[in-house]
Structure formats: C-alpha cells, structure tokens
Structure 1
Amino acid sequence: MIDASYNDAAPYSGAASHDDAGLLPATRRALLHRLATGQSQGRAPSMVGAVMREGRLVWSAGRGELPSGAGDEDVQYRIGSISKTFVAVLVMRLRDEGLLKLEDRLGAYLDTPAGGEATIAQLLSHTSGLAAEARGPWWERTDGALRPELGDLFGDRPQLHTPGRLHHYSNPGYALLGALVERIRGESWYAVLRREVLAPLGMERTTLAPAAPHADGWAVHPWADVLLPEPAVDTGRMAPAGQLWSTTADLCRFAAFLTHGDEGVLAASTLAEMRVPEGGAKAPGQSGYGLGLQVMERDGRTLVGHMGTMPGFVAMLLASPQDGTAAVVLANRTSCFEVGSVAADLLTKVAKLEPRIPAPWRPLSEAKEEHLELTGSWYWGAAPFTLRLCAGGALELSPLGSGGRGSRFRPEQDGTWTGLDDYYAGETLTAVRTAEGAVSHLDLGTFVFTREPYEAGDAVPGGVDAAGWRTAEGRR
C-alpha cells in the first residue's frame, strides 16, 4: 500500500532484469539513466521500461515502488488506448479474410445510432467525424453498466464532422469497431483477441481485468508529493477504446509483431498498410494516424505505435521498423506524459549507440529476363531516373539529382506493377512494348518514361520537335 510516506520508502533497485550481451554496458546505463530521470521528474509512483530489438526483449528496468518480488517486466499496468491497436489488428484480420472491406460503411454490418455512415477505414483512422468521448459522466471513471447498449454511448451531438473531412480522435469510434468484431465473429471482442492474437503471440499477461502482480493507479497532487488512488472500473461497451492491462514483456512481443508481422496473425504487408497515415505521409516532424497506429517523425526516423492513458496510468509503445527496435514505457500516474519522450529516447539511444547491422548483401534468387531489361536509366522528359529490380520482381524508381518523385512498385499477376509510396501509391506502372516485343517506354499513370531525354518517336505525348536539341547557336 502506498501512502504519503512513499518517498521515504526504499527505492526499487532499478537494475535491468533482461540484459543482453549484445547491448554494451554504456548503452544499458544510458537507458537506465533516462528511465530514472523520467520517473523522478515525472513524479511517477513507479515507471517501467523495456527495449525490443530484432524480435527479442533485450533490456528492461523499473524505478519506484513495484509489487514485492515481481520482476519489472512482469508487472501489469493499464495500457489505455494502446488497446485500440489490438482492436485494429482484429479488424484487419477480418478484412484479410474477405469478411469486410475497409471502404464499406459500418452500417452495412452493424445497427448503430451513430457512425453508420462512416467507412471502417475512417473509424480506424479517426476520420469518422464522431465525438471524441462517450456520453457523460466521465466514461473512464464510471462503470460500463451505465452504457449497456451502443445507443447509450452517444450524447445529443454524436456526429460532429462529415465523415472523411478531418482527423478527430474518437473513443466511441473504437467501441463501435469492437462491436463490429463481435457482430462478425459471434463472440466478445476480447475472447476473439485472446484466441486470435494474444495466445499466438505468447501474450499471456495481457488481460481485460488486472491480474497480479499489477500496479495500482494513482493521481499525484500538483503542488505536493502526495497521492490519491484512482478507480479502475470495467468500462463495458467502451472497453475496446482503453480497457486492456499488460506488461512491458508482453508489449515487446506485440512490438516485435508490429515490426515484423506474423503470418499466423497478420502479414507484414498488412501491418505496413496500417502504418501509412491517413491522407498520406506527413511533413518531416509531423505526426499522423494510420489504421490503428500513431505515426511520427523523430530524428529522421518514422516511429509507429500508440500512447495510452487511463485514470492512474499512462503507457507508450513506439517501434522503428527501419531499426528493428521498439521501446515500451508504463507508469502508474494520471497524466504522466513524460512516458512518451522517455520511450522515444530509449528507442533512439539504442538505434544511435548501437546501430542495426545490415543484413549481408546477397544476389537475387530469381530474375526474369523481361524484368532485367527494364532496369537502368529512364527519363521523364529531360529528368533522369533509375529503375532497379528487387526481390520478387518488385521495382524501385529513383530520381537522379534534386527533385523528382520516386516509388517502390509491387508486381501484379497481369504483368504490371502497383506503386506503394506517396504520389504513385496505387498507380499502375506498365512496360509498353512494340509489336516485335521490345520495350518502347514505361507508362506510369500516364507519365511516359523513355530511354533517352525526350526520345524521338511517338511515345512522348505531344510529340518531340523534329529538329531535336539545340545549341546556343541553334536557338538564334
């Protein structure tokens, strides 16, 4: 039991319980120092942190008062809105099974008094236009029995914005997605989560209700070092928006899954789709929201994950797919937003102090001749580009010099390629051939690429001046 004499209690040792020989002692100490600073400056009764690298928990530590005898990586905390990412995984599983489409209206599957006009993708990305919170009183601190049915979630103005118009975070939107999972699967969303995601990933310590050892939730007085206990109620219909409890060990398993995928749960390609912010990539340093995942830029890295808050608890999970690294930080204090910066710092410290060792270069296992002949230099007008052949027949278009749009392209069964990035995302790349079978030019969403700058012939729309390129003298 924590009371006002908390600061006089013996501090938790803070020793890392999962050190990997691959992490240098200086790195481990830097991580511990950052966690200790976050707990102290954030005045959190306790704070635990962990780092995942290449699919394994490689470091964990705790500061403050934890349940007696418990390893810091095994103590449960309420993880709040990180629960939404789990719900999003369930929805994407339904999509991949062909049981729904992201562009479908929710109302086609669920009888709901609000949100039915929004698409499933809009609900996942918080662009449904629904209100941010459920009907009062404060749903995070009141029993879910007050809102037994979907209609009880919404107040007088459930729809604040036109669906798809702008990003507006909505907790009731994820309550609806949980109900969607229940409607299609025919059982509770948590039962589905347990069977389809938690058990396959080995996440035995992620639960709907707290299971010992777990931290208690506290509020900290703003002007004095004293504590007030926070309630931990069952939020009922709102549970998909923030009910789950978990540990740093379990969340590192989840982070490994979000980074690398698991064919038994969700393919890496689907997870990559979830990481694309709504409306496309953001400017450097700006944050966005994908399909159940927050996306942000930090120190030249794209980080994905989610923050979670509930009365008495704050949590953050961040992963860097390019580094194969993730960090988790959990604390048992209301509004301890330091966990976000602590998690980001833990991740970037490992990435910078011990950068990822590149995989060995290896030649392609297969390369078709008709694909090889597409590689090399191409020109859009007079702008130079290169086209490289990648594994599986994929292509990568890169501009040479400043400016120009590049993209990766996925091969399709019909012999075309589909763009994966930014401007060319979803656009079709076609290798146009002559009657004799030779490659004439590339057509990328009507943009024509030729082997020579403004190549003579009929490939370039509008034609090319018959006199060709001119010198300074030739311009007169």
Structure 2
Amino acid sequence: MTTPREELLPATRRALLHRIATAQTEGRTPSLVASVARDGELVWTGGRSMVDGHAPDENVQYRIGSITKTFTAVLVMRLRDEGVLDLGDALEKHLPGSGAGEATIAELLAHTGGLAAETPGAWWERTPGSTRPELADVLGEQPFRHPVGRRHHYSNPGYTLLGALVAALRGAPWEEVLRREVLEPLGLTRTSAQPQAPHAGGWAVHPWADVMMPEPAEDLGLMAPAGQLWSTTADLVRFASFLVKGDDRVLGADSVREMRTPSAPSQPGDWDRTYGLGLDLLRWEGHDLAGHTGSLPGFLAGLWVSEKDGVAAVALANCTSGPLVATLTADLVKIVAEAEPRIPEPWRPLPEVDEKALELTGPWYWGTQVLALRLTADGGAELGPLSGAGRQARFRSNGDGTWTGLNGYYAGELLRAERRPDGSVSHLDLGSFVFTREPYEKGAPVPGGVDPQGWRGFE
C-alpha cells in the first residue's frame, strides 16, 4: 500500500516500495511500515505485513526504543534555553546524590560522560521497571567505564539521569512534562508512553526457522527516558521536520541546529558517524543525515533527515532483530533525494540595501589567499575562497556592524570591519585574522608588517 500526499513520481514510489518490501522479506519481520516527508509534508507511506492480512499505515503505533532519547534531549535543551541550567553544569549541581554527578549535562547528552552502556543486573529491556525503583539500581556501585569527557560511549543510564533531571527541575514526571511541552505543541497525537490502538505487537523471529514468539512489552520505569515511547511514522516524520526547522513553541531553529552539531568524537571504526546532543549524525553515500535509531525486544526503528535535501524518512518494524532499519531509512532518504532533487527557491534580491554591509562585499586577501564575501538573501553573509578548497563560513548579522560565524572553522568567531578615521574600511578582523583589499596591503595592520620594498622579481 502507498499513500501519496504530494505526488512523487511513479518510478520513485516503486523504488521506495521495492526497498521496504525487500527489507521486510529478507529481514523476516512480521510487519514493516515506512514514511517519507519532503519539506515537512508527508509524501509517501508504504507498509508490508504477512501476519494479520493487511499492511500497516502511517497511523499504526510501534515502539521506537532509543529514538525516545531525542525527545528527552529536547526537554533538556528547553531547560537550557530558559536559563534553568547550563549545558556545562555538572549533573550534581541540579541532581545531587546521583552517584554520577561529575559528568556534565552536555556530556550526558552526547554520551561522553563515561557511564556504562547498560544497567547492572537483569536485562532491563525485558524486566519491569519496578525492579529498579531508585537511580542507584540503574547505575550500580560502579557507574563509570571511562574517564568523563574522554570518549563517546553510548549509555542508556545516562539518559535515565537526564530524565530524572527533567522531572526534578519541572516538579512533574518525565512523561507528563514530555506530553505538555513537546508532544502537544507539535501535534504528535499518536506518540505516547503506553501503546494506543491501533498498534503492532512485538515479536521474536526464530533465527533458523520461520516461526515466531511474542515479546513482552514492559514499562521501563526510571529507564523510560531512554526508550519507552510508542509512535507512528506520521508523527515521527513531523518530529524530524521539527529537528531541522525548530518551532518556537518548543525549541527555536538555533537550538535544534545545536543538537545537530557534532559534540562527540567520531565513533571508533566509523569516521562517517558521530553524535550531537541527542542526535546521531551520519554521512551516508554523499548525504548528511541527522536522526536516531531504536530497538527494544520486539521492535526496531529508524529516523533520518537530510536538511540539505529536505527529505526525512522513518521505518518501523515489529521484530527483535532482522531488517537493518538504519540502512533502510537512510536509503529511503537517498532514493527520494537523488530521484527527485529539491527544486531551489527562486532567487530574490534583498528587501533593502545596507550600504555599510554592501561596502564589505567582494574580494579580500588573507596573506596571498583571495576570498570573497557575499551577502545572502536571509540577511547573512558568506566568506570563502573564490576557487578550490579552503575555509568557508556563513555568518549571522548581530545588527551592530559585526557578524558571528555559524559553521566550520569560524563558528562562533566574530567578524568586524575596522574603519579609518574618515570612515572607510581599512580591513576585516576575523578572530584575529586580518583580511585586506590587496595582498599584504601597505599601510594595513598586517601582523609582522609588510616588507617596505614590496613585491619583487628574481633573477
């Protein structure tokens, strides 16, 4: 079954259907459903099932496992934006006595806090949360496996701590805070901590025979912020759009961009993958993706979004193991992005001219390297080499004649124009680098000075 909203080309729809059908068959999963959104609009859904006689659609709930962590991260970022906490704060400042308080909030978000990957004792995903009534039961006597802040080590207990932090600072249970502050404002009406009909049941498929066994669906208790949620592909592609554009009722565009910025070292053996603040970051066959995957006994989930391509994809399956949903979901983004590349927005001139900013455009020299500064239609600026490789950056105007770098080497650095007494521009200062209108321009404050004999030949 396919359900187009904004028509994709027939060949694209068939390629998407073929990809999920192959994943469901070869992955031997009882059912699988996937959705694709383009520029925030759901444009395709496909479902496959060999269990109950009909294919699931975009409104059937599946358990999404660790995609829950991204929702928890959004709650923490809201607290930061409100000034309740700083990401550099040690956890102990806001949640004393946890036993892991030396890790900072940012380190917990990025899985660099050094905590163990799992809880001590019984397999937490298949045991009731009531068996872990206190944080001490989640962390154990030796919660750390690595020095704090030194490496990326995925930690489920780390997100339990973040959920406890949210509950403590809000004075309400994590689930209630999530519903009030994220789910309801974003219209995610089919995302919940407990399953709501229609929903899929979780299954284990025998590795050596085509037979199945139902998996338990436990309430995870304190571990809920790490993996409790149930959701649908329709809700999740809407959430994926929020993770790109932001929504001022929940988190602004700058904050979700910060979540998508690498905050952890590349994962060992996988230099194309790193982690932001509650988001996995992946370079997949030429496409930069942000999202998360999830698994719990009986369920697999994947969500990826490409900001550049304007495409998001989600895939959900009800089996403990089988289809590689991370690869499947990345492939769905790639299929649409390459078969139907985004149509660029029409070029439009700036609504008004800032004469002082216009004066800064054109070529500038850092030493002998020539770069160009351009004003952009969004009111920002870009600086980069005229040709070849080199440092490129986008800048946001601060409204006072200065600009702040948004990406790359100059992210967070200040760009300002230094002027002569007569008001003309002498040079640009960018994080102590001096950019002049001529290479090693005489009279400009080039560090180290300019040879008084100037340029010369050689015989």
- The TM-score with structure 1 as length reference comes to 0.93
User: 2:69 aligned to 84, 87, 109, which one?
Assistant: 84
Query: Which of 324, 336, 344 pairs up with 2:310?
Result: 324
Distance change in 2, residues 1:327/1:170 (3 Å):
same
Does the aligned pair in 1 maintain the 2:152–2:265 contact within 8 Å?
no
Q: 1:33 to 1:232 in 2, by over 3 A?
A: same
Instruction: Determine the C-alpha separation between the residues in 1 that align with 2:452 and 2:304.
Output: 57
Q: Deviations over 1:216-272 (max 9, x none)?
A: 111111111111221110110000000000111111111121122212121112111
Show the counterpart of 2:369: 383
With 281-290 and 422-431 compared, the bigger mean Cα shift is at: 281-290
**3-state SS of paired residue (2:24):** helix
TM score, norm. by length of structure 2:
0.96
CA distance in 2, matches of 1:243, 1:148: 16
| Distance apart, 1:298 and its partner CA | 1.4
Structure 2 letter corresponding to 1:119: T
Do structure 1's residue 271 and structure 2's residue 253 form an aligned pair? no
Relative to structure 1, the CA distance from residue 54 to residue 399 in structure 2 (aligned partners, 3 Å threshold; closer, same or farther) is same
Contact 2:118–2:155 at 8 Å: present in 1 too?
yes
Distance 1:453 1:150 in 2: 62
What amino acid maps onto 2:92 in structure 1?
Answer: G
Tell me: CA distance 1:359–1:171, structure 2 relative to 1, closer, same or farther (3 Å).
same
CA-to-aligned-CA distance 1:20-62 (integer Å, 9 cap, x gap): 3521111111111100000001011111111011111111111
Q: Which amino acid aligns with 2:327?
A: S
Which deviates more from structure 2 when the two are superposed, residues 107-116 or residues 265-274?
107-116
What code does the residue aligned with 1:464 have? V
How many Å separate the matches in 2 of 1:175 and 1:103? 18
Please report how far the alpha carbon of residue 415 of structure 1 lies from its aligned counterpart in structure 2 after TM superposition.
3.2
| Aligned-partner residue type, residue 387 of structure 2 | G
Distance apart, 1:68 and its partner CA: 6.7
**CA separation of 1:265/1:66 partners in 2, compared to 1, >3 Å: closer, same or farther?**
farther
Residue 444 of structure 1: CA displacement?
Answer: 1.2
8 Å CA contact 1:45–1:333 kept in 2: the answer is yes
Match of 2:129 in 1: 144
Q: Shift of the alpha carbon at 1:70?
A: 7.8
Question: Where does residue 358 of structure 1 map in the other structure?
Answer: 344
CA pair 306-393 structure 1, distance change in 2 beyond 3 A: same
Structure 2: 5+ residue runs without aligned partners?
Answer: none
Preserved contact between residue 67 and residue 213 of structure 1 (Cα < 8 Å): no
Match of 1:91, SS state, is: helix
Give 1:252-267 correspondences, 5 Å limit. 252-267=237-252
Determine if contact 1:405/1:423 at 8 Å carries over to the other structure.
yes
- Match of 2:162, as an amino acid? L
Residue 365 of structure 1 deviates from its aligned partner by 1.5
Q: Which residue of 1 aligns with 2:217?
A: 232
SS in 2 for 1:423: helix
Distance of 2:51 and 2:212 partners within structure 1: 15
Q: Which residue among 410, 432, 435 is the counterpart of 1:446?
A: 432
Structure 1 position 422, deviation (Å): 2.2
Give the match's secondary structure for 1:307: strand
Q: Does 1:315 align with 2:301?
A: yes
Q: Deviations over 1:185-218 (max 9, x none)?
A: 1101111111111111111111101111111111
Number of corresponding residues: 458
C-alpha distance in 1, partners of 2:237/2:128?
Answer: 30
Q: Deviations over 1:264-319 (max 9, x none)?
A: 12111211111011158999961010010000111222100000010111100010
Contact kept, 8 Å, 1:274 with 1:290, in 2: the verdict is: yes
> Does 2:43 correspond to 1:58?
yes
1:171/1:386 Cα in 2 relative to 1: closer, same or farther (>3 Å)? same
Q: Which amino acid aligns with 1:364?
A: L
Q: Secondary structure at the match of 1:156?
A: coil
Across the aligned residues of Structure 1 and Structure 2, the Cα RMSD in angstroms comes to 1.8
1:467 aligns with 2:447: no
Q: Counterpart of 1:132?
A: 117
Q: Quick one: which of 101, 109, 112 aligns to 2:86?
A: 101
Letter in 1 for 2:364: W
Q: Distance in 2 between matches of 1:37 and 1:414?
A: 56
- Equivalence for 1:23: 8
Deviates more, 1:32-41 or 1:68-77: 68-77
The equivalent residue for 1:368 is 354
Give ranges in structure 1 of 5+ residues lacking alignment: 1-14
CA distance in structure 2 between the aligned counterparts of 1:456 and 1:279, rounded to whole angstroms: 44
1:215: which partner in 2?
Answer: 200
Given residue 299 of structure 1, which amino acid in structure 2 is its aligned partner? E
Change in CA separation of 1:284 and 1:238 when aligned onto 2, cut-off 3 Å: closer
